[in-house]
Amino acid sequence: MKYPSRSEYCSAIRHPKIAFRKTDPVSKRSRDLDPLLVNGRAVEKTAAFGTKTIWSASGNFAIVFKYETPAPEKTWAVRCFYRANYNVSRHYQNVLKQLKKRACRHYFIDFKCQTEGIRVLGKCYPLLRMEWLDGQNLKKFIKANLGNKKKLQQLADLVFQLAKDLRESGVAHGDIQHGNIIVVEEKGKLALKLIDYDSLYFVEDGDTVKNSIKGLSDYQHPLRKRLEYSCLAIDYFPFLVIYLSILALAEDKILWDIHNLDDREGLLFSEQDFALPDRSKIFTALSFLPPPISTLADRLKEMCRFSNFKLISPLDFVVAGRSVSAPPQQSSWAANPTWGTTQKQPRRKKRKNKRTANKVERWQAGRKSAIAAASQAMGKTLSSLKNRSPLFDRFAKQSQNPPEPEIQPLPPPEVPLPDERLAWDPRPSKVKASYQKEASDREAAIPPTSAIVKVSSSANPNFKQQLARFAFNSLETCQTLLQKSTEAMRDLISYLDKKR
């Protein structure tokens, strides 16, 4: 079924005499689709620059209008659907039928579902009408009471009781988040109400309801996206996330500003925190808070790693320290018909690892081979030093206090300069020729490399001896460094022996 768009609903509800009235094409008689709404009007709000627009709030599947009626004088919430992957009328008729016999029905708002509720562009579409609820959503209420630890603790207790009552009544909301929990405060007493019943699930439905609505990802387990059919466990994880967030903000209100909750869609946690809990900053911050916050954070972190969605425990189980036992697999029943009895299974003997038994011996053998390799390398270096040339032996005798030779600086080479200077000719045909001549004169003025070598040899006759002395000193420095590195290696091996 194709539904109208949000703008088409806004245009239609401006004219209630047309939107909530239908004319029979055969008898040409008109009838009211909703006798209350046909005489009312949609509430308007003042937008930017003084323009007035209709008050509305839209979600993934529906848009909600604030509507006033004169008789009775009430404010209503009119919910119109612009997208749905299920039969809206059938679903809400089942919701009305199931909620009448539930003990948790006081958490839900009474509503009326009309198959033909509003007319848009000549066609009728389903509509939900419920009383307008004056209150704040969960996130706004927490922000307004950040400094009131007592009130936030009371709110956490109400969330705990809500999760327990829904589980014991066999009901799952399916999209638990801060926007679908309304906090109502009357005469100093707090009460919680649930809205948005598109994904409501009852235990009698079994595995027949598809998990088409995945919920807000900042509250849902990573496995929720791959869940094919709905079950009671779809509310367990988000209730724990909300309960833990309220307790943490009641204990340390600075967490709100540190993690910029005003700019985030959820509360303390995000989808990335559940996907990578070991790298999450909020899990690290909660681990330093006193229990039960740190304990619940560890349990939530453990749940994020579950690969079986049915292993997630309810909120009252987690607070009490209980857990859900893992259901047996089908293959286990077929292979072992006596599953669940007290029959003891034989233990498998652990095989000893032969490699770990000789760990000390292998370490000692490796140490000996390292010492032998170092000694061999040192011996080769010393033997190569002994077989040096006689020129180095002659300078080795003078290595006690060698006289510092007087190194005379090399005289600058005599570069002949051209006697004639090029005259500048402004004519274009002569410019290129003048440049070529100037470049050839410069190349002729640069002396060759052989001339520099001859100049250095003639200026300093002991040049070769100085070069040999420099090479000998460099070789002695290398020998000293090699000896020191060998001593350091021996010290390291002795230290490891003592520590072992």
Classify residue 157: in a domain, yes or no: yes
Q: State yes or no: pLDDT of 241 exceeds 50.
A: yes
Count of domains for the chain: 3
In this structure, the answer to whether residues 238 and 113 fall within a common structural domain is no
Q: How high is the pLDDT of residue 366?
A: 72
For residues 179-188, average pLDDT:
89
Q: How high is the pLDDT of residue 497?
A: 76
Q: What is the CATH number of the domain that holds 155?
A: 1.10.510.10
| pLDDT (tens digit per residue) in 323-382 | 665 443 333 333 333 333 344 445 555 555 555 546 666 666 776 777 777 777 666 655
Classify residue 178: in a domain, yes or no: yes
Of 102, 131, 160, the residue at which a domain comes to its end is: 131
Q: What is the CATH number of the domain that holds 63?
A: 3.30.200
In this structure, the answer to whether residues 309 and 375 fall within a common structural domain is no
Q: How high is the pLDDT of residue 463?
A: 65
Q: State yes or no: pLDDT of 402 exceeds 80.
A: no
Q: How high is the pLDDT of residue 89?
A: 86
Classify residue 332: in a domain, yes or no: no
Of 67, 96, 131, the residue at which a domain comes to its end is: 131
Per the structure block, which two tokens stand in for 213? 């609505």
Q: Cα(40)–Cα(21) distance, rounded to whole angstroms? A: 13
Q: How high is the pLDDT of residue 444?
A: 61
| pLDDT (tens digit per residue) in 267-314 | 999 999 999 999 999 999 999 999 999 999 999 999 999 989 989 999
| Mean of the per-residue pLDDT values of the chain | 79
For residues 393-422, average pLDDT:
51
Query: Which amino acid appears at position 391 of this protein?
Result: L
78 strand-pairing partners: 65, 129
Per the structure block, which two tokens stand in for 375? 């000694």
Query: Which amino acid appears at position 330 of this protein?
Result: Q
Q: State yes or no: pLDDT of 108 exceeds 60.
A: yes
Classify residue 364: in a domain, yes or no: yes
Q: How high is the pLDDT of residue 496?
A: 77
Q: How high is the pLDDT of residue 191?
A: 94
Q: Cα(463)–Cα(406) distance, rounded to whole angstroms? A: 11
Classify residue 337: in a domain, yes or no: no
| pLDDT (tens digit per residue) in 7-22 | 999 999 999 999 999 8
In this structure, the answer to whether residues 316 and 396 fall within a common structural domain is no
Of 131, 146, 169, the residue at which a domain comes to its end is: 131
In this structure, the answer to whether residues 210 and 146 fall within a common structural domain is yes
Owning domain of residue 443: 360-413+422-499
Q: How high is the pLDDT of residue 391?
A: 45
In this structure, the answer to whether residues 73 and 207 fall within a common structural domain is no
In this structure, the answer to whether residues 158 and 307 fall within a common structural domain is yes
Q: How high is the pLDDT of residue 419?
A: 47
Q: How high is the pLDDT of residue 337?
A: 35
Task: Find how far residue 224's CA is from the centre of its chain.
Answer: 17
CB crowding 108-137: b at 16 or more within 10 Å, else e: bbebebbeebbbbeeeebbbbbbebeebbe
For residues 128-140, average pLDDT:
91
- Percentage of the chain surpassing pLDDT 70? 73
Q: How high is the pLDDT of residue 341?
A: 37
Classify residue 334: in a domain, yes or no: no
In this structure, the answer to whether residues 287 and 314 fall within a common structural domain is yes
Q: State yes or no: pLDDT of 431 exceeds 90.
A: no
**More confidently predicted of 13 and 426:** 13
* Burial (Cβ within 10 Å: 0-12, 13-18, ≥19) of residue 177: buried
Q: How high is the pLDDT of residue 338?
A: 34
CB-CB neighbours of 310 under 10 Å: 15
Q: How high is the pLDDT of residue 323?
A: 66
Classify residue 447: in a domain, yes or no: yes
In this structure, the answer to whether residues 292 and 154 fall within a common structural domain is yes
In this structure, the answer to whether residues 146 and 116 fall within a common structural domain is no
| pLDDT (tens digit per residue) in 25-59 | 777 788 888 889 999 999 998 877 778 888 988 88
For residues 109-125, average pLDDT:
90
Tokens 């323009």, located at residue: 51
Q: Cα(171)–Cα(330) distance, rounded to whole angstroms? A: 27
Classify residue 148: in a domain, yes or no: yes
In this structure, the answer to whether residues 148 and 268 fall within a common structural domain is yes
**Most confident region among 82-86, 341-345, 413-417 by mean pLDDT:** 82-86
In this structure, the answer to whether residues 125 and 225 fall within a common structural domain is no
In this structure, the answer to whether residues 378 and 263 fall within a common structural domain is no
**pTM for the model:** 0.64
Q: Cα(470)–Cα(464) distance, rounded to whole angstroms? A: 10
